[in-house]
Amino acid sequence: MDLKGRSFLKLLDFTPEEIIYLVDLAQELKEKRKKGIRGNSLKDKNIALIFEKPSTRTRCSFTIGAQEEGALATYLAGSELQLGEKESIEDTARVLGRMFDGIEYRGFDHSYVEELAKHSGVPVWNGLTDQWHPTQPLATMLTLKEHFGYLKGLKVVYLGDGRNNVANSLMVACAKVGIDVAISAPKQLWPETWLVETCEKLAKEAGSTVTVSDKLDVVEGADMLYTDVWYSMGEERKEQERIRLAVPYQINSALMARTGKDTTIFSHCLPANKGKEVTEEVFESEASKVFDEAENRLHTIKAIMVATLGE
C-alpha cells in the first residue's frame, strides 16, 4: 500500500485498509526490532519534532523510531520557535519544509498542524492536538491484535472524559476497522454530535456499532476497558469539576467484573492519575496492558514515518 508523501493528521483521513496496514507494518517492525534488525528506510532524512506540550511517549517514540530507521531527529520546543506569533504558521511551514524531510507537531490548536501540512510540502505527523491524538489508537489496536489475535468483532469501552482527543481518535479508529466501541461518560463530557454521527456511519459500513451513554452497563461484553485522565493538558483549573462529574466512571475491579468476561483487559494512554480514573489495583493487575501499549507507541509511530516518508 502506497502512503508515500501523505501527512498523518487524523484518522478520518485514512481508510480502514490503510489503518490496518499501519498496524500490520508496526507489528512487522516490532518483530524485526526484537531480532535486532534495524532498518534504513529513513536513511539521511532530517525530521523536525515540534513540541508545544510536554511529552514522554510521543517524543521518545518519534526520536527512537527515526534513529532506528536511519534519520536524524531534531527537537524544537514550541517556546523557542516563532510559531504563530512573530511568524505565521504558513511561513514557518515553508521554512521548515525546505530544511526537513518530515515534521512532527504536538500542540494545542489542530489548525496549526493542518497549516503545517498544507504549506510545508513534506509529510506532517500529528503528535497530539486538542481535538485529535491519532497515533495513540494505532498503539491500542496493535495491543489488541497482539493479545486477542484479531480486531474485527472486539468491543472496546472508553470511560470518563468522553470528549477529549484520545476518546475522539479511539472512536474513529474502532468504527473504521469494525470494533464495537462505546463511550461511557457524563452527558457534559460526551463527544460532539457530528463526530458521533460520523462514527456511526463508519461503523455501519464496517459491521460494528457505536454507543454513547451515561450508563455503566455498556461495559457488558467488553474486551477492553480504556480510560484517560479526566482533565487534559491546559485544563488543570477544571480538575475539581471533572472529578465530581467523572468519579462514577472510575475503572475498578468491580467494573472490570461487570464486563462478564474474565478475559477483559485494561489500558490507558498515560500519564495516569492512579486512584482517580483507575484504581491502583486494576492498573497493576494482570489484565493491565498499559505498558504494552506504551511500548507500542514506538512501533506504530515508526510505521507511520516509514510508510509516509521511507524509501
> What are 251's three cell numbers?
475503572
Let me know if 269 is a catalytic residue: yes
Let me know if 133 is a catalytic residue: yes
> What are 266's three cell numbers?
485494561
Binding-site sequence positions = 55-58, 82, 106, 133-136, 165, 228, 232-233, 269-270, 297
Catalytic residue among 223, 228, 268, 299: 228
Let me know if 242 is a catalytic residue: no
Question: In this predicted structure, what is the pLDDT of residue 126?
Answer: 99
Percent of the chain at pLDDT exceeding 70: 98
List pLDDT tens digits, range 13-50.
999 999 999 999 999 999 999 999 999 999 999 999 99
Question: In this predicted structure, what is the pLDDT of residue 81?
Answer: 84
Let me know if 297 is a catalytic residue: yes
List pLDDT tens digits, range 272-284.
999 999 999 999 9
Question: In this predicted structure, what is the pLDDT of residue 86?
Answer: 82
All domains of the chain in start order, with CATH: 11-133+297-309 (3.40.50.1370), 136-293 (3.40.50.1370)
Question: In this predicted structure, what is the pLDDT of residue 233?
Answer: 63
Question: In this predicted structure, what is the pLDDT of residue 234?
Answer: 66
Question: In this predicted structure, what is the pLDDT of residue 50?
Answer: 97
Catalytic residue among 242, 268, 297, 299: 297
Catalytic residue among 6, 136, 180, 299: 136
Binding-site sequence positions for L-ornithine = 165, 228, 232-233
List per-residue pLDDT tens for the chain, 311 residues long.
999 999 999 999 999 999 999 999 999 999 999 999 999 999 999 999 999 999 999 999 999 999 999 999 999 998 888 787 789 999 999 999 999 999 999 999 999 999 999 999 999 999 999 999 999 999 999 999 999 999 999 999 999 999 999 999 999 999 999 999 999 999 999 999 999 999 999 999 999 999 999 999 999 999 999 999 998 766 677 778 888 999 999 999 999 999 999 999 999 999 999 999 999 999 999 999 999 999 999 999 999 999 999 99
